[in-house]
Structure 1
Amino acid sequence: MLTLVFLDELLAMAAFGVWGWQHDPRWLLVWLLPLVAMFVWWAFASPKAPRGGPVVRPVAKVIVFGLASLALWEAGRPEWALALLVFSVVVNGLAQLPAISRLPTDALRGDSARTR
């Protein structure tokens, strides 16, 4: 599940690059937009986000994935936009299940199902 969440994050960054490719200055936006999105993700949405929290983290995720889907839609890829949006909702929704949401903190502590 964590691999799918990571894949979802990479797809969102790629979506910003696709949108950047459609606009001038193409060479700048294709790199700059994903970097800005990565910074926002690091600062507000990642598990170790310095500015994250129980309210800020989900809001940042909705903004990043929503804008990534909107970017694909605006870039003329509505089918990709819808697919990314559905995938993001499903994957992030499943990641909130208690058994799955504990995995990152268990890994940091060194816990695993095999050692219990």
Structure 2
Amino acid sequence: MTAFGVWGWQQDPRWLLVWLLPLAPMLAWYFFASPKARYGGTLVRPVAKVIVFGLATAALWDAGHEPWAVVFLGFSVVVNGLALLPSIRVLVDRE
């Protein structure tokens, strides 16, 4: 979410976008990507994650933080890949 705030800080009107831009991915995550998402599903959840992380990477890249964009993309791929392992998935599905 910080990536969207960083990108919003460099746009006009800065005071508005720095607060509003992070709200869109937060709401998308809440409704579609979180483990208890109301509209999440086996197809919707991964697509929402790819969109949110992809746009965050693009926002960092466009804001001039290319190294951080690459690090963020690599980190998100590793973390989401590990989350698919059966031993980790059990921890989420317990409830």
* TM-score class normalised by the smaller sequence: over 0.9
Q: Which has the larger radius of gyration?
A: 1
Q: Distance in 2 between matches of 1:24 and 1:60?
A: 27
**4+ residue runs of structure 1 moved beyond 6 angstroms?**
none
Q: Quick one: distance in 2 between partners of 1:26 and 1:99?
A: 44
Identity of aligned residues (%): 68
| Alignment-mate amino acid for residue 29 of structure 1 | L
Q: Does 1:62 align with 2:60?
A: no
Residue in 1 aligned with 2:36? 48
TM-aligned CA deviation for residue 101 of structure 1 = 1.1
Q: Name structure 2 gaps, 5 residues minimum.
A: none
SS at match of 2:21: helix
Counterpart in the other structure of 2:71: 83
1:92 to 56, 62, 80: 80
Q: 2:24 aligns with which of 36, 51, 55?
A: 36
- What is the SS of the residue equivalent to 1:49? coil
Structure 1: distance between partners of 2:74 and 2:92: 23
TM-score, L = length of structure 2: 0.97
Question: Which residues of structure 1 form unaligned runs of 5+?
Answer: 1-12, 109-116
